[in-house]
Structure 1
Amino acid sequence: MKASHIIGIIVIAVAIGIIIVTAGDASSYVTFDQAKEMADNGNNNSIHVVGELPKTGSGEITGIEPSSDKLSFSFVMVDENKKEQRVFYNEPMPTDFKRSEKVVVIGSYKENLFIADKILMKCPSKYQEKTVTAGI
């Protein structure tokens, strides 16, 4: 075998190794019950939970409690199984948080509270189609 063939095989093997390690760190969305079970079993990895913020009949979001210093807040989130869970986030409330359609929290359970390290939001205004009409 030529040296270039051996180097090519080594490069391919390293690339496959990187892909396998990266895929092992990938996380899927779980419910709060699954996240609690994972935490009870000693899984300390970041867990992704997707859900929505509860709203009143008039569309107003409920369950948000900012801290007195406004540097952290907690809120209630409803997962895909309709389970409500209080979530604590040790950062200020994101600007468009109350306008979010869906929320993904990334974090872990500490006792009976879900502690979020990150919050990802899907705001409806970003995804609505806009029609443009040209005046003739």
Structure 2
Amino acid sequence: MKKTHIIILVSIAALIVTLIVFSAGDFSTYESISSAQKKQGKYVHLIAKLDKTMPVEYDAVNNPNYLSFYAVDSLGGKTKVIFHNSKPTDLEKSERIVMKGSMKGDHFECKDILLKCPSKYKDDKKELEKTVTDQQNSTN
């Protein structure tokens, strides 16, 4: 092999290793609240619901980049969530909340929030079924 071929192969290998190292930090797993508490400081994804029995703290005038609320996962784990950004629209209406961040002591420090809101088509489907049933009853 020529020296140029060897240099090109080594460069490609170094590039692949560099890409793997830098992308490894982006991988995270879906965790329960209790397992995330055991992994303090590790970047994880939590799937939970808003705990509507606890207050949502957000003041758009005095501190628009601070939101705190409590979340409950499907296993019953509960934690305070702190999000340093504006409050997502329809937080209270969401069915599920996917939060990306890490546990810091007794709370979850959230970097990003994704909301799973109720489908607008569920109500449309029920209305359609009711209309079809009413039409069938009126023809009989």
TM exceeding 0.5: yes
CA change 1:99–1:5 in 2 (3 A) is: farther
CA change 1:27–1:126 in 2 (3 A) is: farther
Point out the more displaced range, 102-111 or 5-14.
5-14
CA change 1:80–1:3 in 2 (3 A) is: farther
| Residue equivalent to 2:85 | 91
**Which is higher, the Rg of structure 1 or of structure 2?**
2
| Residue equivalent to 2:69 | 75
Tell me the secondary structure at the aligned position of residue 77 of structure 1.
strand
CA contact (8 A) 1:70 1:92 kept: no
Q: Using the aligned pairs only, state the percent identity.
A: 32
CA change 1:64–1:119 in 2 (3 A) is: farther
Greater share of helix: 2
Q: Which amino acid aligns with 2:57?
A: P
Tell me the secondary structure at the aligned position of residue 101 of structure 2.
strand
Deviation of residue 127 (structure 1)? 8.7
| Residue equivalent to 2:96 | 102
CA contact (8 A) 2:44 2:100 kept: yes
CA contact (8 A) 2:95 2:117 kept: yes
Distance 1:30 1:24 in 2: 18
CA change 1:102–1:22 in 2 (3 A) is: farther
Tell me the secondary structure at the aligned position of residue 28 of structure 2.
coil
CA change 1:102–1:4 in 2 (3 A) is: farther
Spell out the pairing of 1:3-18 with structure 2 (5 A cutoff): 5-6=5-6, 8-18=8-18
Deviations 1:21-58 (A, max 9, x none): 1452111111111111111xxxx33222111224xxxx
Tell me the secondary structure at the aligned position of residue 92 of structure 2.
helix
Distance 1:17 1:127 in 2: 46
Tell me the secondary structure at the aligned position of residue 39 of structure 2.
helix
Matched positions, count = 120
| Residue equivalent to 1:120 | 114
- RMSD of the TM alignment (CA)? 3.1
- 1:52 equivalent among 42, 49, 53: 49
Distance 2:2 2:55 in 1: 65
* Residue segments in structure 1 that go unaligned for 5+ positions in a row: 55-60, 132-136
User: TM-score, normalising length from structure 2?
Assistant: 0.65
CA contact (8 A) 1:78 1:85 kept: yes
Distance 2:82 2:91 in 1: 14
